[in-house]
Amino acid sequence: MNRIILALDTANLEKAINITKKVKSKIYTIKLGLEFFNAHGKEGVKKFNEIGITNLLLDLKLKDIPQTVYKAIKALDDIKFGYLTIHGQGGKEMIEKAKKAASEIYSRPKIMMVTILTALNDDDLKAIGNNSSVNEQVKKLAQVAKEMNVGIVCSGQEAKIVRKIIGQDLLIFTPGIRMQNDSKDDQSRICSPIDSIKNGSDKIIMGRSITNGNIEENLNKVANSLKI
């Protein structure tokens, strides 16, 4: 089950800690996003460090002017985490500053560049004045990731073309993962666990499909689906 990153999209610290204690031996790591970080900040992250989670994915999706992103990452020096998300659309200079800051803090997290959010589709892009398709945008951003030597966060649907562009050395994490009978919820571009891995993903990010209901049973279902 070391392919699974469990998304803990909650502001409930006690609940998140209890879930993690229960399943940490069965997953690769956890993901903490804006909801959790805005509620608990770095002190909340330290609670996970205290139970041995030091490689977590901090999903802040940073996008700002380069110096602001640099300083924001430098401010994370006193917590332990393995990965940090930024938006690729912030530009190459911002990405470079993010890499520099990450290399200067204690955890030295790997930068993971978000392409196009999995909640968006072609119509959503057109509505904000972008006439390129999702696939075209993801391809362009994958090339940027390759040039900047950073990992990528993309839909499992695009993982195959992204892998062709970036090669085998850079990481691909895929959110928007759903089992066959799961609700899409607010996601537009979903993919099954096994298809995402076959398409070239290194790790799959799953939240509600695991945390809704019996977590351990749901984890076993995902793990079994990856053996097909």
Hey, what domains does the chain have and what are their CATH numbers?
A: 4-225 (3.20.20.70)
**Do the Cβ atoms of 175 and 209 come closer than 8 Å?**
no
> How crowded is residue 200: how many other Cβ atoms within 10 Å of its Cβ?
19
Q: What is the pLDDT of residue 123?
A: 80
Q: 60 vs 35, 55, 84, 139, 217, CA distance in Å?
A: 9, 15, 7, 22, 29
pTM of the full predicted structure? 0.92
Of 1, 150, 175, the residue nearest 83 (C-alpha): 150
Residue-wise pLDDT for 26-84, tens only, equals: 999 999 999 999 999 999 999 999 999 999 999 999 999 999 999 999 999 999 999 99
- 61 catalytic, yes or no? yes
**Do the Cβ atoms of 39 and 62 come closer than 8 Å?**
no
Mean local confidence (pLDDT), 206-221: 91
Beta bridge partners of 33: 59
Residue-wise pLDDT for 189-210, tens only, equals: 778 999 999 999 999 999 988 9
Point out the catalytic residue in the list 24, 42, 47, 61. 61
